[in-house]
Amino acid sequence: MSDPFVVVGADAAGLSAASKFRREAPDRDVVVFEMGRWISYAYCGMPYFIEGRVERMSNLLSLSPSEVDERGIDLRRGHKVVGVDPDAETVAVETTEGDSFEQPYDDLLVATGGRASTGSFDVRGVDGAFTLHNMDAAAAIDAYIAEPDAYDHERADVSAVDRERVERNAAMPAPETAAIVGGGYVGVEMAEALSGRGLDVHLFHRSGHLLSDFGEAVGERVETELDAKGVTVHTNAPVVELVGDDRIEAVVIEGEDPIEADLAVVGVGIRPNTELLDGTGAELGEGGAIRTDEYGRTSLPDVYAAGDCATAIHAVTGEEAWMPLGLTANRAGRAIGATVAGDPSPVGEIAGTAVVKAFDMEAGRVGLVGDEAARDAGFDPVRETVTAGSRSGYYPGAAPTDVTLVADRDTGRLIGGSIVGPDRAAIRIDTLATALEADMTVPEVERLDLAYAPPFSPVWDPILVAAKVLNGTLDGQ
């Protein structure tokens, strides 16, 4: 027990693990290597920073380096871990200053995160074309949108920021039209953000419904909302080319004329950063992520992985899944910190719970919403979508709320669901997430004693209405 707990990556999973470990094992050492300058930022807040709803980039800071220090964590920024020797139990480290050394570990956590995948596009070197995957990109987009003489240089008020990139973008002429490639939740959030900045926004989505993972009912209402707020939504519109030499000029949908854009945000997907374990024999799993067990252990002894680079167990299927989301990373990191400190703690299963805001519309999803995912997991999905009021009909603010529930035909078990509506719809998904994780059947959901009071819910909550209807369908088979 003489060597430290070594953590690679100083973001949600890594710092959660290091913090928990120090609290549980105050006499032992933990070293966190971070290749970059940024640590512990709220990446999910980037669209709201760009929108201007969040005034300063520093508002998105969760933990400062000095706060990490105060926790007794040995944080080394500018330190890239380039190799792992699982037999010797050492990692090879290179610093931005050009030094390199070997660091022995007792336990190792790989929390290297993910990176934006831009598909076949290369946005590097094209002004006005961005991926939104780190704070430097967010700062650059924000600066690029501003009129050169109106940019508030205090916006990106963090020392870690790539100041040169920010100032270069701030000096460029402000864009008027924006193209967002990809209608997942980041795309939808960016559509709201860029609209809020006064841009004429086009959102391009490969398939027929935005937010594919949320199901059709959500996709349709979010599309209607974006449309009502002036965003031009292009569905079944795979973007095949970004046009522009030095600066972005247009995007091209397959088979159509180019559509002008002087800002493009490309977010096709995310890929796990697993290269560090190449050649170590560590197993990879779903999505090419590092395979982990219920305690976050990889196939290598004393090596853990957590966050966007690691797999997890899905609460509905009981199978391995890869779903990079913020809570999962924090929770897994924290559990691994406890386990390494001597208190074995499961990292918890994931239910794929996600929520998104699109202007005045809110949506949530959980579990297996699409038929394909359900069938792949061996279920025979039956679904119903209902529209019900969010409050008693006579109470001001009551709004139509669509609930979709998906059940397995044979067992009646709830396996997924979604909710969409303008009135406090998103947070209601937590009820379904809890029901899913408890392996409830649809009849059990129908009998839940959910809250009723006119300002908050009708007598029959929309979730109960949906369960009632789906139950009827299951009964009537």
Q: What x/- string results for residues 400 through 429 when contact with its own copies is judged by CB under 8 A?
A: ------------------------x-xxxx
Backbone angles phi, psi at 248, to 5 degrees: -65, 140
By the rule CB under 8 A, 45 interacts with its own copies: yes
Length of the chain, in residues: 477
By the rule CB under 8 A, 153 interacts with its own copies: no
Site for its own copies in 442-471 (CB under 8 A): 444, 447-457, 459-461, 463-464
Residue nearer to its own copies on the CB measure, 36 or 443: 443
Distance CA 354, CA 348 (A): 16
Please report how close the Cβ of residue 264 comes to its own copies at its closest, in angstroms.
24
By the rule CB under 8 A, 262 interacts with its own copies: no
The residue count for binding its own copies (CB under 8 A) is: 66
Residue nearer to its own copies on the CB measure, 275 or 439: 439
Distance CA 37, CA 47 (A): 21
Distance CA 344, CA 20 (A): 12
Please report how close the Cβ of residue 81 comes to its own copies at its closest, in angstroms.
25
Q: Which of 346, 371, 400, 422 binds its own copies (CB under 8 A)?
A: 346
**Angle CA(284)–CA(289)–CA(293) in degrees, nearest 5?**
70
Site for its own copies in 226-245 (CB under 8 A): none
Select the span of 66-74, 193-201, 235-243, 361-369 touching its own copies (CB under 8 A). Answer: 361-369
Distance CA 356, CA 192 (A): 11
Site for its own copies in 160-199 (CB under 8 A): 185
Please report how close the Cβ of residue 242 comes to its own copies at its closest, in angstroms.
28
Residue 28 DSSP symbol? S
Distance CA 355, CA 418 (A): 9
Structural Rg of the chain based on CA atoms: 23
Q: Which of 26, 396, 476, 477 binds its own copies (CB under 8 A)?
A: 396
Please report how close the Cβ of residue 28 comes to its own copies at its closest, in angstroms.
19
The active-site residue out of 24, 42, 44, 260 is: 44
By the rule CB under 8 A, 327 interacts with its own copies: yes
Please report how close the Cβ of residue 394 comes to its own copies at its closest, in angstroms.
4
Select the span of 100-108, 301-309, 321-329, 381-389 touching its own copies (CB under 8 A). Answer: 321-329
Residue nearer to its own copies on the CB measure, 103 or 431: 431
Q: Which of 139, 350, 368, 398 binds its own copies (CB under 8 A)?
A: 350
**3 state DSSP class of 312:** strand
**Going by DSSP bridges, is the β-strand pair 303-305/107-110 parallel, antiparallel, or unpaired?**
parallel
Burial 55-65 (b: 16+ CB within 10 A, else e): eebbebbebeb
- Bridge partners (DSSP) listed for residue 387: 402
Distance CA 374, CA 318 (A): 13
By the rule CB under 8 A, 355 interacts with its own copies: yes
Q: Which residues contact 453 (CB under 8 A, 6 or more apart)?
A: none
Residue nearer to its own copies on the CB measure, 60 or 248: 60
Q: Which of 7, 8, 10, 12 binds its own copies (CB under 8 A)?
A: 12
CA dist 390 to 396, 426, 428, 443, Å? Answer: 10, 11, 10, 21
Nearest residue to 372 via CA among 204, 188, 182, 216 = 216
Please report how close the Cβ of residue 364 comes to its own copies at its closest, in angstroms.
6
Residue nearer to its own copies on the CB measure, 88 or 438: 438
Residue 441 DSSP symbol? B
Please report how close the Cβ of residue 128 comes to its own copies at its closest, in angstroms.
26
Select the span of 258-266, 268-276, 279-287, 437-445 touching its own copies (CB under 8 A). Answer: 437-445
Give one word for 2, left, alpha or beta, with left for phi > 0 and alpha for psi -120 to 50: alpha
Residue nearer to its own copies on the CB measure, 139 or 350: 350
| DSSP line for 262-279 | SEEEE--EEEE--GGGTT
CB–CB of 290/276 below 8 Å? no
Site for its own copies in 48-87 (CB under 8 A): 48, 53-54, 59-60
CB–CB of 166/143 below 8 Å? yes
- The answer to whether residue 44 is catalytic is yes
Please report how close the Cβ of residue 437 comes to its own copies at its closest, in angstroms.
6
**Angle CA(327)–CA(333)–CA(338) in degrees, nearest 5?**
125
Please report how close the Cβ of residue 377 comes to its own copies at its closest, in angstroms.
16
| DSSP line for 189-207 | HHHHHHHHTT-EEEEE-SS
Q: Which positions lie near its own copies, rule CB under 8 A?
A: 12, 42, 44-45, 48, 53-54, 59-60, 185, 315, 325-328, 330-331, 346, 348-357, 362, 364, 366, 392-396, 424, 426-431, 433-435, 437-438, 440, 444, 447-457, 459-461, 463-464
Active-site residue set: 44
